[in-house]
Amino acid sequence: MNLILFEPAELAAPLSRSDPRAAHLLGVLRRPEGGTFDAGVIDGPRGQGTLVQIGPDALTLRFTWGAAPPAPDPLTLLIGLPRPQTARDILREATSLGVAALHFFRPEKGESSYARSTLWSSGEWRRQLILGAEQAFATQLPAVTHDQSLAETIASLSRSASRIALDNYESPQPLSAVEMPSPVVLAFGPERGWSAGERVLLRAQGFAFAHLGPRVLRSETAVIATLAVVRAKLGLL
């Protein structure tokens, strides 16, 4: 953890020694009583925490806060719902890279059981966001949905954003050649690829098709590579 994040409701309460954050403070950072560490409030400011007391069951902490961090980058991702482990990687890494929103849609060529994973039903997906933010020394978490169709997801988007769909098979140009004024919406198909109907829908909704070259990438790799190219084109690096 480069930054230890807390929910607003946790700030006034002792931190249980069974909490992974307490284990990190004592076992990894090796902070003694009076020691300080980098802390943040989820969707709030960053600052300094102080380990006031190490009790047998809990740690007593005190915080001082700085200014609120900048808003996330103006990037929204639409992703055909992948297998749970791939979704974990995307949730974590896309948060580290600062996207504003992640919308996992039900694809026509997807596996329906992925939507029933405990990743979504247990709330673990949010823990993956927090891990990504802590890695990036950030506090802002992206907005996330995971239970809509592609058409429903597109209908909820701003009409003013640049719209780009990644596709290895029917894209006329590389992503690096696409003009993309900010904000940007990026659509990724499922692991089995876009269906013919989804391609028709995307084109009708103003999505330009682009590719990342001749190699077929894993979903999580394609997301990271795409974000690197787009952030560079928008001057966000």
Tell me the pLDDT tens digit for each residue of 140-187. Answer: 999 999 989 999 999 999 889 999 999 999 999 999 999 999 999 999
Q: Identify whether residues 38 and 82 lie together within a single domain.
A: no
Angstrom distance (rounded) from CA 88 to CA 82: 9
Residue 237 pLDDT grade (very low, low, confident, very high; cuts 50, 70, 90): confident
Q: Identify whether residues 60 and 84 lie together within a single domain.
A: no
The amino acid sitting at 119 is L
Average pLDDT over residues 119-139: 96
Residues 38-67: pLDDT tens digits? Answer: 999 999 999 999 999 999 999 999 999 998
Per the listing, tokens 């940007």 go with 184
Residues 87-114: pLDDT tens digits? Answer: 999 999 999 999 999 999 999 998 989 9
Phi, psi of 168 (to 5 degrees): -70, -20
pLDDT(69) > 90: no
Give the total number of structural domains in the chain.
2
Classify residue 42: in a domain, yes or no.
Answer: yes
Q: What is the mean pLDDT of the chain?
A: 95
Q: Are 55 and 14 in contact (CB under 8 A)?
A: yes
Angstrom distance (rounded) from CA 189 to CA 56: 50
Angstrom distance (rounded) from CA 17 to CA 130: 19
Classify residue 70: in a domain, yes or no.
Answer: no
Q: What percent of the chain has pLDDT over 70?
A: 100
Q: Which domain holds residue 167?
A: 75-233
Average pLDDT over residues 198-214: 96
Give pTM, 2 decimals. Answer: 0.94
Q: Identify whether residues 107 and 215 lie together within a single domain.
A: yes
Question: What pLDDT sits at residue 182?
Answer: 94
| CATH number for the domain that contains residue 149 | 3.40.1280.10
